[in-house]
Amino acid sequence: MRILSFSLLLLLMVTPSLAKSHQSARVMIVHSYEADHICGQPQGQGVVQALADNGWKQNENLLLESFYMNTKKVHTTPQAIRAQARKALDAIEAFKPDVVVVLDDNAIREVMLPLVGRDDISVVFSGMNGQPFVYNSKTPFIESADHPGSNVTGVYEKLYLAKSLAVIGSSLNGFDKGDKVVGITDYSPTGNAISRQFQLEIAAEKIDVEWELHRVKNFEEYRTLIHALNEDPKVRAIYPAALSLQTADGGTYTAPEIFAWTIRNSRKPEMSLNYFFSKIGLYGGAAVDFTSMGHMAGEKVARILNGEKAGSLPIEDARDYAIVFNQRRARQLNIAIPPPLLTAADHVYR
């Protein structure tokens, strides 16, 4: 009887964990932008790949859903963004995920922050351009970067601006005194965040060229600026990071349309925010590796599914950048990229 009683007690202790091990984990990825967006898609792919690399595979032990807020081209006003966020939060309540992954700042601001402090959901962010402790001042979720302490962790999108300026300079055989590189941002929440990132990264590291930031309110201002920069011989390169601009007819141009016009009309080599921007035609440089950044976030998701607490996992900078060049664009600009630099590049698009 003692043996039987002990066996029954052991069974009661073990059965819940066994049952849990046979359940599929639930993960929802909330994208700030549309499906196939050149910033969101590679991050999402990185998340899914990291989960598979760590034994969490769709159609086996993982149920995964994605929600696209589509806030770059369609739902662009603050009111529309908040409305999409409410739909995302409703979808989360219906799906009941173990972990929510939020990609880019609109989802971080409008979906992540309302989930802070939940006991039933962990949150992992990726592609954060806004400063983590600014978000924390609105809704506290960070005790320290090494130990957030709440139900949130994630990956900050470090731009590696100083490195990118060094790479672009090397590709142009160096900068002369008085040369400058011009960054261009818009006034969207993401544009505000990127402008602040530029400021912080320039202040933190020594650079060998003059940096100048211009901000544009709409596509007409962007066009006027590009034509003006074409006429300035001291401008050696531009960093176009205006990713959403209103047009005169009331429409919205996003990165693909903006960059297509830029390639047709600009006579300056463009630095790429991420290497997909170079893939679709921009000149290149040292660009954020968005797939790697998503993979970092996915590794955190896997650790949470394996039993670790989100608050015990550090908030980290995106650790990888890719040196990329678009050879077709270089030929259009009559630039001969030094062969050793091409050999060192991670991606060369032709």
The pTM for the full model equals 0.85
Q: Determine the average pLDDT of the residues in 307-322.
A: 94
Q: Looking at residue 2, what is its pLDDT? A: 55
What would the DSSP string read from start to end of 94-160? HH--SEEEEESHHHIIIIIHHHTT-SS-EEEEEEE-S-HHHHHHHS--BS-SS--BSSEEEEE----
Cα separation, 228 vs 223, in Å, equals 9
Domain 25-157+290-320 shares a fold with domain 161-288+322-349: yes
**Out of 6-20, 66-80, 113-127, which region has the weakest mean confidence (pLDDT)?**
6-20
Residue reference for tokens 């608050």: 311
Q: Looking at residue 122, what is its pLDDT? A: 98
What fold does the segment set 25-157+290-320 form as a domain? Rossmann fold (3.40.50)
Per-residue pLDDT tens digits for 159-172: 999 999 999 999 99
What would the DSSP string read from start to end of 251-316? -EEEHHHHHHHHHHH--SPBBPSBHHHHHTT--EEEEE-HHHHHHHHHHHHHHHHTT--GGGSPPE
Cβ atoms of 99 and 128 closer than 8 Å: no
Per-residue pLDDT tens digits for 2-25: 554 444 444 444 333 323 344 799
Residue reference for tokens 């990888």: 320
User: What is the H or E stretch that residue 239 is in?
Assistant: strand 235-241
Domains of the chain by residue range = 25-157+290-320, 161-288+322-349
Q: Determine the average pLDDT of the residues in 296-300.
A: 98
Q: Looking at residue 335, what is its pLDDT? A: 97
The CATH homologous superfamily for domain 161-288+322-349 is: Response regulator (3.40.50.2300)
Q: Of 87 and 15, which is predicted with more confidence?
A: 87
Q: Between 290-305 and 40-53, two packed helices, what is the crossing angle to 10 degrees?
A: 40
End-to-end CA, the chain: 77
Question: Could you tell me the pLDDT band of residue 322, with boundaries at 50, 70 and 90?
Answer: confident
Cβ atoms of 75 and 81 closer than 8 Å: yes
Cα separation, 111 vs 113, in Å, equals 6
Q: Determine the average pLDDT of the residues in 135-151.
A: 97
Q: Looking at residue 16, what is its pLDDT? A: 36
